[in-house]
Structure 1
Amino acid sequence: MSYPALAARTAVVTGAASGIGAATARQLAAGGARVALLARRADRLDALAADINAAGGQALAVTADVTDQASVDAAAKAVHDAYGRVDLVVNNAGVMLANPLADGRLDEWTRMIDTNLTGVLRVVHAFTPDLTAAAADGRTADLVNVSSIASHVLFPDYAVYGATKAAVTQLSAALRTELGPRDVRVSAVEPGLTDTELGGHIDNPALREQLGGMFTAIPALTSEDVADLIAYTVSRPRHVNLRQSVVLPTRQA
């Protein structure tokens, strides 16, 4: 679906190398937004930017690691140098790792917290001045944080992942109290089972098989389904904030 309200907007999408991030970047660009693509995999970003530009859109590939403050700072500078101030940020970069908490996988815990939570905070800090300035100029300004139904639905062996996503949803709510009065909309989008690369990060064979069984039993959402919801959310009149959206496959309870 096309959303004319996206025309002339300037967006940043993290985790844009694949899945929901890539689909969101395509959707925003198709609506007329200039889109800065942020992720670690430069080859994927370059290919996506080339596809978007060839289709008549505007996209900029910016290699960035949200777990590295210097990398985020450099990415923000690159975006500003190319596009100026942004008015739409989609915080999508994330990682999902699963193991029983008793396994003590500190490496996984640290990676998920630094990517899913601290990485979101780094990006928020980098671009909030842009959003508040855009809103002060009378333009629509949006911060969208991609969370998960794991923020409020319990899945055994996904405790730390769920905790990071619960933190993202809570952070979004808290930021609304700070940014809403300044006319910046903050939205949390919480997808259920979605067909992306996320499950490929899991190194526990039993849990990978369990996740595969869910995909067999339930026709999953596509990345494009979630991207369409994000585009719809940021296309509402500027006084309307879809604060928290849960999107599930029809067969997922």
Structure 2
Amino acid sequence: MGILGGQVALVSGAGRGFGRAIAERLAGEGARVALLARSLEQLEEVAGTIRASGGEALPLACDVTDRASIEAAVEAAQEGLGRIDLLVNNAGVPGPFGPIWEVDPDEWWRAQEIHIRAPMLFMHALLPGMVARGRGRVVCVSAIASRMVAPNLSAYCTGKIAQNRVVAEAAAELAGTGVSVFAIDPGFVFTQLARETMESPEAQKYLGGMVDRLRAASGDPAAQTDLARCAQRVLDLASGRYDALSGNYYELPDDLDAELEKKNSTEDAR
């Protein structure tokens, strides 16, 4: 059945890129997966791939910034698949790009709704059930930008560092409940979002170095390897082996076993 046999996962932004890779990996390990995104057509394709491999998937159109939309999707997912054991908050946007005094404040704030409001709404909808059952896990797909100061990328950097703090706060509040929360950097892959960034006139104007890196990656098959690595990282965290690391942010090169040993050694020394 796989290590997630009998469990139900909900993955946002599951229609493409990292979200799709994560959803397919979780399904491959036995999880029944609710697929959320704005485009139902994309989700149907992902669901078809999962079903063709013997898995179970439920595609659900959802606006992750809208409370009613999230609550309806969560209800539909639980009616169709069962109580949700794992939430993977993956939806994101890269822009707007440019100096704070030039970007559209409304567009900048819209990005924060996706980076910060969405995981808050998902956790608000799902954590009560997880806490009541004494088990559950949440993985927020953050970014290395969460620990960077990148001029002309303020919306993304601000949203991701705030996302990591929401994870840390939630973990502190969930201590002793059996529910764990993590944030991860997914790595670097040329996804559709990367293409949209590369083709953005504002990104070309203000983030030339990043655009050049994306352009180079667009034709490099090796640039797709982090899709599988990210999906594996989510699976590792979903396995329960690393629950003691709840509240932390990790990047793909981080050794979770070493981090777990370090934590255990620190606690033993107290």
TM-score (norm 1): 0.88
Alpha-carbon distance in 2 for matches of 1:4, 1:54: 17
Task: State the Cα deviation string for residues 180-225 of structure 1 (Å, max 9, x = none).
Answer: 3211011110234332222344431334653232242896453222
Is 1:158 equivalent to 2:158 in the alignment?
A: no
- Answer whether contact 1:199 1:208 (CA < 8 A) is retained: no
CA contact (8 A) 1:99 1:105 kept: no
**In the alignment, which of 17, 26, 29 is matched to residue 19 of structure 1?**
17
Aligned mates of 2:230, 2:242 — CA distance in 1: 21
For 1:147, give the aligned amino acid.
Answer: S
**Post-superposition CA distance 1:146-186 (Å, at most 9, x none):** 11111112222111210110000011011111113211011
Query: Is the contact between residue 196 and residue 222 of structure 1 (CA under 8 Å) also seen in structure 2?
Result: no
Listed as ranges, the gaps of 5+ residues in structure 2 are 254-270
Question: Are 2:147 and 1:148 aligned?
Answer: no
Alignment of 1:84-95 (within 5 A): 84-95=82-93
Distance 2:169 2:129 in 1: 19
| Bigger share in helix | 2
Letter in 2 for 1:190: D
The one-letter code sitting in structure 2 at the alignment partner of 1:199 is A
Kindly indicate whether residue 252 of structure 2 is the aligned counterpart of residue 247 of structure 1.
yes
Number of aligned residues: 243
Match of 1:198 among 168, 193, 196: 193
Residue matched to 1:35: 33
User: SS state of the match for residue 62, structure 1?
Assistant: strand
Larger Rg: 2
Confirm or deny that 1:226 pairs with 2:226: no
Work out whether residues 12 and 88 of structure 2, in 8 Å CA contact, stay in contact via their aligned partners in 1: yes
Match of 1:113 in 2: 112
CA contact (8 A) 1:195 1:222 kept: no
**What's the C-alpha RMSD, in Å, of the aligned pairs?**
2.2
Off by >6 Å, runs of 4+ in structure 1? none
Partners of 1:129 and 1:180 in 2: how far apart?
14
1:129 and 2:124 matched: no
Which residue is equivalent to 1:101?
A: 100
3-state SS of 1:102 partner: coil
CA distance in 2, matches of 1:122, 1:187: 16
**For residues 80-109 of structure 1, what are the alpha-carbon distances to aligned partners after superposition, in whole Å with 9 as ceiling and x for unaligned?**
211221110001111110222121321321
Instruction: Compute the TM-score of the two structures, normalised by the length of structure 2.
Output: 0.83
Question: Partner of 1:210 in structure 2?
Answer: 209
Q: What are the within-5 Å matches in structure 2 for residues 42-121 of structure 1? A: 42-97=40-95, 98-121=97-120
* Aligned equivalents of 2:90, 2:80: Cα separation in 1: 21
Asked if 2 retains the 8 angstrom alpha-carbon contact of 1:132 and 1:184, the reply is: yes
Taking a change above 3 Å as real, the CA distance of residues 59 and 239 of structure 1, as seen in their structure-2 partners, is same
- Equivalence for 1:251: none
AA aligned opposite 1:21: G
Deviates more, 1:191-200 or 1:5-14: 191-200
SS of aligned partner of 1:28: helix
The separation in 2 between residues aligned to 1:28 and 1:65, in whole angstroms, is 22
Percent same amino acid at aligned positions? Answer: 33
